[in-house]
């Protein structure tokens, strides 16, 4: 595989926005604010979506999703099947969006590979893009995570819902709530709890509270830390 190029967050966001816009041009505006990632994958891009016991199939204990480029097939681990595990819907949707990120941002890197043998010994198949939780800091995985966040939580939709609730784009200062929850639950400084407004917004977008909080912090709608004033010399 070719080296994964660095991508600016703005470029990743534009790619996610373009995918959603392309879907809506073909099928019409999305009702509500939650983005139908499985429909985008299957109906818009023409990929197949399946569930399987991926750790057993791939021999990786921490794999949640995999994409076979040549076969145009995305497989999600069966532990995230929202029909069997409704509580995992947010994690499922993020994983699907993450695989869409690989498809949009990285498939050309795999298409450039010479014919590789698959993990199953089938010479007609290439190795999949395997997404493991321990690989989240890899450039390709970080980019796919960023793409998923932009696709599932578009900035304009976030701003619209925030205005509906607060009337304007005033940041919520969550420092006291974070300190209270951290003290109550005995959390370390590196483990920021999810605040209530992030959980509430997450329900609207059908994502996890943690993913929503990361997005809201990135948009400066939630502040979980006190920002020290700049020194003026």
161 sits in the region (left: phi over 0; alpha: psi -120 to 50; else beta) called alpha
Percent of residues, the chain, with pLDDT higher than 70: 84
pLDDT 10s digits, 131-161: 555 545 688 899 999 999 999 999 999 999 9
pLDDT class of 120 with cuts at 50, 70, 90? very low
Please report which residue ranges of 80-222 form alpha helices under DSSP H.
Answer: 89-111, 139-152, 155-166, 175-185, 196-205, 209-218
pLDDT on residue 62: 82
pLDDT on residue 31: 86
pLDDT on residue 130: 63
pLDDT on residue 185: 86
pLDDT on residue 199: 95
pLDDT class of 177 with cuts at 50, 70, 90? very high
Q: Exposed e or buried b for every residue in 128-143, given b needs 16+ CB within 10 A?
A: bbbbbeeeeeeebbbb
Cα(168)–Cα(159) distance, integer angstroms: 9
State both tokens at 83. Answer: 């029909």
Element (H, E) at 66: strand 63-68
Least trusted range by pLDDT, from 4-8, 156-160, 220-224: 4-8
């Amino acid at each position: 595989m070719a080296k994964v190029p660095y991508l600016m967050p703005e470029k990743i966001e534009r790619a996610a926005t373009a995918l959603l816009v392309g879907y809506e041009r073909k099928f019409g505006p999305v009702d509500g604010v939650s983005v139908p990632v499985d429909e985008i994958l299957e109906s818009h891009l023409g990929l197949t979506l399946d569930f399987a016991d991926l750790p057993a199939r791939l021999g990786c204990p921490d794999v949640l999703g995999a994409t076979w480029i040549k076969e145009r097939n995305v497989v999600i681990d069966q532990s995230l099947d929202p029909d069997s595990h409704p509580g995992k819907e947010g994690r499922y949707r993020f994983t699907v969006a993450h695989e869409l990120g690989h498809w949009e941002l990285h498939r050309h890197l795999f298409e450039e590979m010479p014919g590789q043998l698959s993990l199953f010994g089938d010479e007609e198949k290439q190795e999949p893009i395997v997404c493991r939780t321990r690989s989240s800091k890899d450039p390709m995985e970080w980019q796919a995570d960023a793409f998923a966040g932009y696709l599932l939580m578009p900035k304009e939709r976030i701003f619209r819902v925030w205005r509906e609730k607060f009337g304007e784009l005033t940041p919520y200062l969550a420092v006291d709530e974070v300190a209270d929850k951290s003290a109550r639950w005995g959390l370390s400084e590196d483990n920021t709890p999810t605040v209530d407004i992030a959980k509430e917004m997450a329900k609207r977008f059908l994502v996890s509270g943690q993913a929503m909080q990361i997005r809201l912090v990135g948009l400066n709608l939630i502040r979980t830390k006190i920002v020290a004033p700049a020194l003026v010399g």
